[in-house]
């Protein structure tokens, strides 16, 4: 299995994260070491690292560059153990092979091509060996002002990615941010139709709508309409992030009431995703360690169970499930595996 959405950082890097607070449950070490413990028994063969929203400002990219350097050390197995970076990035049972198959760092997409090219050259200078593991970039727009995705500079940066055969991981938030993010995304896709987009977390739909009301709810109807529109572009979708949108602090283990409710809530949305994108354009992701905030310590395993049951309900074949669990990520991110 390929986990297409994992965040990694050390306790020493906590205060370099733009969203970190003193009482955050995500303070501490969340390295490969901790990931391997939480994913034990889940047959994970590789992961994709996603940037963790480090502190940065226009022209000041020191922290994102440090993040790239850290993940490069993880991949190349050159960790600074005396700096609390962990013991290894190697995949268990696969000697000398990193569990991190590729990375999606941050990039100043909103600042235009000149800035992106300058930033890219700075990454090359920081660690030339890590560059081949960059499969694309992410610039979170879920918390940005309206109009961000529509700036000419944004579109030209996206077209630059297409020319470099790099993807854009798209992070929008329909439930918390509003339906307007779907509208802007459509216009953004039209600005750069040749770029490959990976839609994170199914665009974070409203999974807290009571199951009996979902199909008639305006938010669901609009979300589904835009998913169909998005599917006509070079897009993929991550089956991930649900525990951030479901009710928090519940036991989502198989057999519990919360587990059954999660199946009910997510199946309707997954049906739409598989209808418009098909298994060859849907990839499984845990969103670790963020998933543990809403889903608890065993969130990764529970999400694997939930999604497995949903794919069974939707009658996916074993080959189709294999695409979701690994094949789609391998293809979308052009992974050497």
**How many residues belong to the chain?**
337
Distance separating alpha carbons of residues 170 and 201, to the nearest angstrom: 9
Which residue reads 């198989």 in tokens? 254
Distance separating alpha carbons of residues 261 and 90, to the nearest angstrom: 36
Spatial neighbors of 217 by CB under 8 A, at least 6 apart, are 206, 209
Give bridge partners of residue 235 from the DSSP assignment.
197
Model pTM score: 0.96
* CB burial string 223-247: b at 16+ within 10 A, e below: bbebbeebbebbbbbbbbbbbbbbe
One-character DSSP codes across 38-54: HTTTS---EEEEE---B
Give bridge partners of residue 239 from the DSSP assignment.
284
pLDDT digits (tens, 9 = 90+) for 107-157: 999 999 999 999 999 999 999 999 999 999 999 999 999 999 999 999 999
pLDDT digits (tens, 9 = 90+) for 261-286: 999 999 999 999 999 999 999 999 99
Token output for 106 = 């941050």
Q: pLDDT tens per residue, the chain (337 residues)?
A: 999 999 999 999 999 999 999 999 999 999 999 999 999 999 999 999 999 999 998 889 999 999 999 999 999 988 877 778 887 777 776 656 889 999 999 999 999 999 999 999 999 999 999 999 999 999 999 999 999 999 999 999 999 999 999 999 999 999 999 999 999 999 999 999 999 999 999 999 999 999 889 999 999 999 999 999 999 999 999 999 999 999 998 999 999 999 999 999 999 999 999 999 999 999 999 999 999 999 998 999 999 999 999 999 999 999 999 999 999 999 999 997 7
């Amino acid at each position: 299995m390929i986990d297409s959405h994992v965040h990694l950082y050390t306790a020493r890097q906590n205060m370099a994260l733009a969203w970190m607070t003193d009482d955050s449950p995500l303070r501490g070490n969340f390295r490969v070491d901790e990931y391997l413990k939480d994913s034990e028994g889940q047959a994970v063969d590789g992961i994709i690292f996603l940037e963790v929203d480090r502190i940065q400002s226009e022209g000041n990219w020191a922290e994102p560059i440090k993040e790239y350097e850290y993940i490069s050390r993880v991949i190349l197995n050159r960790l600074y153990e005396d700096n609390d970076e962990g013991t290894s990035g190697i995949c268990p049972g696969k000697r000398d092979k990193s569990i991190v198959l590729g990375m999606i760092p941050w990039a100043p997409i909103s600042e235009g091509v000149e800035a992106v090219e300058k930033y890219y050259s700075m990454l090359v200078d920081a660690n030339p060996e890590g560059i081949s593991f960059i499969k694309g970039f992410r610039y979170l727009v879920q918390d940005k002002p309206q109009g961000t995705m529509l700036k000419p500079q944004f579109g030209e940066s996206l077209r630059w990615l297409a020319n470099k055969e790099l993807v854009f991981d798209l992070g929008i938030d329909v439930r918390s941010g509003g339906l307007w993010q779907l509208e802007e995304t459509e216009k953004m896709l039209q600005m750069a139709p040749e770029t490959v987009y990976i839609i994170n977390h199914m665009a974070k739909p409203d999974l807290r709508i009571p199951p009996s009301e979902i199909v008639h709810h305006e938010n669901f109807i609009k979300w589904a309409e835009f998913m169909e529109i998005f599917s006509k572009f070079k897009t993929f979708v991550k089956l991930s992030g649900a525990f951030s949108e479901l009710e928090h602090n519940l036991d989502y283990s198989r057999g519990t009431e919360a587990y059954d409710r999660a199946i009910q809530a997510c199946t309707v949305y997954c049906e739409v995703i598989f209808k418009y994108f098909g298994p060859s354009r849907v990839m499984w992701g845990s969103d670790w360690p963020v998933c543990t905030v809403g889903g608890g310590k065993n969130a990764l395993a529970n999400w694997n169970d939930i999604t497995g049951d949903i794919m069974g309900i939707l009658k996916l074949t074993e080959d189709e499930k294999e695409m979701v669990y690994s094949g789609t990520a391998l293809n979308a991110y052009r992974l050497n595996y």
